[in-house]
Amino acid sequence: MIAFVMSFFLNRRRTGFRQTDTMLRKLTVYSINTGLLTSALALVVMFAFAFYGFHFVHLMFILPLGGVYTASLLANLHSRSRLWGELQPGENVNRLSPGVRNQTSAISQSV
């Protein structure tokens, strides 16, 4: 449900600018990918509890669920920071060719 809501609101934020819309599409894909895994595991926990009741079979699936939620949150935050770095002009030096990168680092060291 969270992935669906995030993709809905990200889709509504489209501006018509190519670079911004590309970033919103990437964020939508990241949120769906991370949300799909967590929701699938949460559904497995729910169905295991529904079918087996209090026989503690669902604990086998619920133990890694907290870690999957944490990893999902951190993956979303990391993707947002990485995409934000792609939007910032002039700060993404890694995309430059090695010759230009050496020139820019030499200039920044002399200043």
Answer whether 1's CB lies under 8 Å from 34's CB.
no
Give the pLDDT score at 78: 84
Q: In whole numbers, what is the pLDDT of the chain averaged over residues?
A: 80
Give the pLDDT score at 67: 92
Answer whether 35's CB lies under 8 Å from 6's CB.
yes
Going by the DSSP 8-state scheme, the letter that residue 52 receives in this structure is H
- Residue 33 CA to residue 54 CA, distance in Å, equals 31
| pLDDT-based confidence at residue 48 (cuts at 50, 70, 90) | very high
Greater pLDDT, 108 or 70 = 70
Answer whether 85's CB lies under 8 Å from 25's CB.
no
> What is the reported pTM?
0.62
CA angle 84, 89, 109 (to 5 degrees): 110
| pLDDT-based confidence at residue 23 (cuts at 50, 70, 90) | confident
